[in-house]
Amino acid sequence: MTTFTFGQKGESLASEAHNAPAPSMVGTSVITLDDLSIEQIRELLDKARYIDTHRKEVAHTCDGRVLATLFYEPSTRTRLSFETAMLRLGGKVIGFAGAQLASVTKGESISDTLKTVSNYVDVVAIRHPKEGAALVAADAASVPVINAGDGGHMHPTQTLADLATLRSRFGRVNHLTIGLCGDLTFGRTVHSLIETLCRFGDVRFVLISPKELRTPQYVLNRINATEDCSYVEVSDLSEVIGDLDALYMTRVQKERFFNEDDYLRLRDTYILDAAKLALAKPDMAVLHPLPRVNEIAKEVDDDPRAAYFEQVRNGMLMRMALESSVLGDELPGFADHENKEVMA
């Protein structure tokens, strides 16, 4: 079994949250989480926690606002989460799901679509199969654009959900050994999470994948550039699962493969079942961005270490926090609540 050691213990987010005021997010497009400061991310985590216990108070925060969900790629959870977030804040939603429903079928560019849609709405969430499409959209739009996933590049709001889940389980997002397992080449959620955790520091990454689906070099470079973060690459989940504080499972994504034979050969490489989970720490958290295929056995769902449906809830709460923040719509009672937390 591999052993991992730490330097100085990381502080909890709860104790760090009020060290510095977060700059305003009004009008900010979020293409990667590098577009937000650490203070802003902490504030979003605090807002999401507040929203969860003050649903009625925040129900009219975004009255009169309209969100456009422009999904050029199929999605269930992410699109519904963005839409539900705006509806729960009192706003409205327009959009499309599937490139076949957009004017792209007539030859319209992303840029022209965003320039048009900006006249209708206050904020846009966009998903696109091409890396960099969200940045093109943000450059063209006159309203904030939130990246809901662009190819194999980034998925910042899923990372916010992941951070919220880690925080709820451990009280912090650093001083952890985190295993990421499965498709680490095309998994945009993996890339976003690693890069963001490096900003918090003091994280040990265990990268578990077949050689065909290893982590891209630019992501490894980010870890190497962070003084108190490190990684190991392994192929055997059973060998390292006992060392992990959190295990982030991912599916092998059929839509990213050009050769179906390669997909069929690799799709069942890692399956987390009760037998493997028995090797893990009793308080380890199992995360998954969903949808799953068969990489997590259904028998794991009832284990208290399963946190992936908790991630779904946290994703909606974090998107509520983000949408209201980029619009500049203050959550009723949040400022007073935070002041009381500081005084306490």
Q: Which of 56, 106, 298, 340 is catalytic?
A: 106
Query: Rounded CA gap, 259 and 166, in Å?
Result: 35
Q: Is 155 a catalytic residue?
A: yes
Residues 6+ apart with CB under 8 A from 287: 162, 165, 166, 246, 247, 248, 249, 307, 308, 311
Whether residue 42 is annotated as binding a ligand: the answer is: no
Whether residue 65 is annotated as binding a ligand: the answer is: no
Whether residue 155 is annotated as binding a ligand: the answer is: yes
Q: Which of 78, 113, 215, 226 is catalytic?
A: 78
Q: Is 254 a catalytic residue?
A: no
Whether residue 79 is annotated as binding a ligand: the answer is: no
Whether residue 282 is annotated as binding a ligand: the answer is: no
Whether residue 197 is annotated as binding a ligand: the answer is: no
Residue 67 per-residue DSSP state: E
Q: Which of 127, 175, 191, 222 is catalytic?
A: 127
Contact 243/215 with Cβ under 8 angstroms? no
Contact 294/268 with Cβ under 8 angstroms? yes
Whether residue 267 is annotated as binding a ligand: the answer is: no
- Helices H, strands E: what count in the chain? 13, 9
Q: Pinpoint the alpha helices (H) of 171-277.
A: 188-200, 217-224, 237-240, 260-266, 274-277
Q: Is 9 a catalytic residue?
A: no
Whether residue 253 is annotated as binding a ligand: the answer is: no
Whether residue 55 is annotated as binding a ligand: the answer is: no
CA distances from 14 to 46, 49, 125, 324, 338 (A): 9, 11, 29, 22, 11
Whether residue 127 is annotated as binding a ligand: the answer is: yes
Q: Which of 47, 49, 65, 155 is catalytic?
A: 155
Q: Alpha-carbon torsion 328, 79, 41, 213, what sign?
A: negative
Query: Rounded CA gap, 264 and 20, in Å?
Result: 50
Q: Which of 77, 115, 130, 292 is catalytic?
A: 77
Which residues are annotated binding-site positions for carbamoyl phosphate? 77-78, 127, 155, 158, 290-291
Active site residues: 77-78, 106, 127, 155
Which residues are annotated binding-site positions? 77-78, 106, 127, 155, 158, 188, 251, 290-291
Which residues are annotated binding-site positions for L-aspartate? 106, 188, 251
